[in-house]
Chain A
Amino acid sequence: MVGIALYIVFFLTVVSIYAIIVMGLNLQWGYTGLFNAGVVGFFAIGAYGTAILSGPDNVRLIGGFELPYFIGVIGGILIAAAAGLIVALATLKLREEYLAIATFGISISIQLVALNFASLTGGANGLVGLPRPFYQFFTEPSVYSVFFLCLVLVFAAVVYVALERAVRSPWGRVLRAIREDVTAARSLGKNPTMIRLQSFVLGSAIMGLAGGLYVGFIGFVSPIDFLPILTFQIWAMLIVGGSGNNRGAVLGCLIVWGLWTASGYVISNLVPPGFQSRAGALQAMLIGSVIVLTLLFRPRGLIGEEDVISTHAGASATPALQADAAEKG
Chain B
Amino acid sequence: MSAHILQIANLTAGYQPGLPIIRDVSMHVSKGEMVTIIGPNGAGKSTLIKAVAGLLNVEDGRVELSGSDITRISTHKMADAALAYVPQTDNIFASLTVDENLKLGAQALPKATARERVEEAYEKFPDLRKFSRRKAGVLSGGQRQMLAVGRALLTHPEIVMLDEPSAGLSPKMVDDVFAQLVALVKSGVAILMVEQNAKAAMRISDRTYVLAEGRNRLDGASDALLEDPQVTQIYLGRAGRKQ
Contact = CB atoms under 8 A, between A and B. Distances in A.
Nearest to A311: B16
A301 B42 CA distance: 37
Contacts of A313: 16
Interface of A: 311, 313, 315
Interface of B: 15-16, 19
Nearest to B15: A315
A320 to B, nearest CB: 14
Contacts of A315: 15-16, 19
A311 B16 CA distance: 10
5 contacts: A311-B16, A313-B16, A315-B15, A315-B16, A315-B19
Contacts of B15: 315
B120 to A, nearest CB: 39
A313 B16 CA distance: 9
Contacts of A311: 16
A311 B19 CA distance: 14
A41 B16 CA distance: 39
Contacts of B19: 315
A244 B182 CA distance: 55
Nearest to B21: A315
A313 B19 CA distance: 14
B13 to A, nearest CB: 14
A315 B19 CA distance: 11
A277 B19 CA distance: 53
A265 B46 CA distance: 61
B20 to A, nearest CB: 12
B197 to A, nearest CB: 26
A180 to B, nearest CB: 13
B139 to A, nearest CB: 27
A313 B15 CA distance: 10
A212 to B, nearest CB: 45
